[in-house]
Amino acid sequence: MMWIVPVGPPFMETLESEIDLTEWEDRTLDFPFFARVLGVRTEAVDSDRTRNKQYWESMASGDPLLVYRSDAERYVGFGRIGVKTQTTYFDKAYWNDEGALSVFTVTDYDDSFALEPEQVNAVLDYEETFRPYGLSKVSADRPVSDLLFFLDVNRNYATT
């Protein structure tokens, strides 16, 4: 499964470079000491957050993800889902209490490109005007392997 993750401030800080988690007292043993981290708002206050929770629960380690920078309106990175956990740590320490308690690490992150939405939309056969709003799952019938080839990451990442 491939994911599209819109990201803006303050979440870019914990994605753009690995953060030091050695002082995080409640860090589980499987969570790395240094990691890029993103979060998802999953509290059940509306249908979008209910969908986010279902999506977050179905994310698997190794799933590819495409990062959409919402404030710049372009795709800016590619990576893989790493370890997931539920915590208030990042929300309080980094994200200004945005309510993103369902978190995951991002592995193999590559931010060496900037793509207009229309470029990705053309490859995935989306409407030209599509813009991701909230965590999105790319349907299995979309040509994800074509997108990976287009991004020139296909040689490094097999689809799962």
Residue 26 domain-assigned (yes or no)? yes
Q: How many CA atoms lie within 13 A of 78 on its CB side?
A: 20
Is the confidence at residue 149, as pLDDT, over 90? no
Look up the pTM and report it. Answer: 0.90
User: Cα–Cα distance between 96 and 105 in angstroms, integer?
Assistant: 19
pLDDT tens-place string over residues 91-145: 999 999 998 999 999 999 999 888 999 999 999 999 999 999 889 999 999 999 8
Residue 33 domain-assigned (yes or no)? yes
Residue 9 domain-assigned (yes or no)? yes
**Range name among 43-52, 65-74, 104-113, 118-127 with the lowest pLDDT average:** 43-52
The count of domains in the chain is 1
Both tokens assigned to 70: 């919402």
Structural domain span for residue 53 = 2-137
What are the b/e assignments for 36-67, b being 16+ CB within 10 Å? bbbbbbbeeeeeebeebbebbeebeeebbbbb
Q: What is the CATH number of the domain that holds 130?
A: 3.10.590
